[in-house]
Amino acid sequence: MKLESYALRAMFVVCMVLCFATLGSMLFPAQPTARQTIVEAQLTATHAGAVAPLACTPDAESAPCTRMD
C-alpha cells in the first residue's frame, strides 16, 4: 500500500509539472531568435519571388498566356 501511495503522489507531481509547463508555454511563448527571423525573411522573399507575372492578360477568346521567366 505504501508503494502505491508513493507512485500516485509521483504521478500527481509529474502531471502538475506538465500542466504548469503547458500553461506557461501558452502564456509566455518563446521569442524567436535572430537566426529564426532571418530564415523566415528569406523564405518569405523566396516564395514572393517564385510567382512570375503573366506576360499578357488572358481573355476568353485569346490563347492561354505564358509566364515570363
Q: For residue range 29-50, what is the model confidence (pLDDT) as tens digits? A: 877 666 767 777 777 766 555 5
User: Does 63 have pLDDT greater than 70?
Assistant: no
Sequence-distant (≥ 6) Cβ neighbours of residue 56 within 8 angstroms: 62, 65
Q: How far is CA 19 from CA 14, 26, 28, in A?
A: 9, 11, 14
- Is residue 19 in a domain? yes
pTM, whole model, 2 decimals?
A: 0.44
* 56 band by pLDDT with thresholds 50, 70 and 90: low
- Is residue 64 in a domain? no
* 64 band by pLDDT with thresholds 50, 70 and 90: low
- Is residue 58 in a domain? no
- Is residue 69 in a domain? no
Cell of 51: 510567382
Range of the domain at 41: 2-47
Nearest to 63 by CA among 18, 55, 48: 55
- Is residue 17 in a domain? yes
- Is residue 57 in a domain? no
Domains of the chain: total: 1
DSSP letter, residue 55: S
For the chain, helix, strand, coil in percent to 5 are: 60, 5, 35
